[in-house]
Amino acid sequence: MNKFSAFCFAALLCTAALATTAFAQDKKLSDEKKMSDEKMMSKDAQVIELVQTPKEFTTKELTLKPGKYQFKITNKSVDHEVGFYLTEQKADGSDGQMVKGSNAGHPKKGESVMSGVVDLKAGKYNYSCPLNPTPHYTLTVR
């Protein structure tokens, strides 16, 4: 085999190795995204969708039964990121502690994000967005 043939053969092997590596990385990223999407939606929780428009949620009040929930937060028309804060409601109606798992991230205009799974017990809660900013809305669990 002359030097040119050996060079071509080595280049072909390198190209095949790079293509295989790139395919494996793409598959790994695809699998990770699929697992992330599946992790985002729990089969054990009911999904409650809340839509934000400038300075408000379109749902002004919620009444739910005790149980596991996830909140899908959609930024319909706010020109910047929005958030979602779910807190226990104190006796005076003000915010108490943030509900564990309720953080949903910060969707940009036209995007939606899911909260973690929250296990809501009977009582009253507040939901709001200080980034938008919205009023505090009441979520009652009974």
- Write the secondary structure of the chain as one string of H (helix), E (strand) and C (coil): CCHHHHHHHHHHHHHHHHHHHHHHHHHHHHHHHHHHHHHHCCCCCEEEEEEEECCEECCCEEEECCEEEEEEEEECCCCCCCCCEEEEECCCCCEEEECCCCCCCCCCCCCEEECCCEEECCEEEEEECCCCCCCCEEEEEC
**Model confidence, pTM:** 0.71
Over 70: is that where the pLDDT of 81 sits?
yes
Instruction: Residues 46-141: name the CATH superfamily.
Output: Cupredoxins -  blue copper proteins (2.60.40.420)
**8 Å CB contact between 85 and 102:** yes
pLDDT band per the 50, 70, 90 thresholds, residue 33: very low
- More confident: 42 or 47: 47
Domain boundaries, the chain: 1-40, 46-141
89 vs 1: CA distance, rounded Å: 80
pLDDT band per the 50, 70, 90 thresholds, residue 39: very low
Average pLDDT over residues 80-101: 96
**Percent of the chain, pLDDT > 70?**
70
Over 50: is that where the pLDDT of 36 sits?
no
**8 Å CB contact between 87 and 43:** no
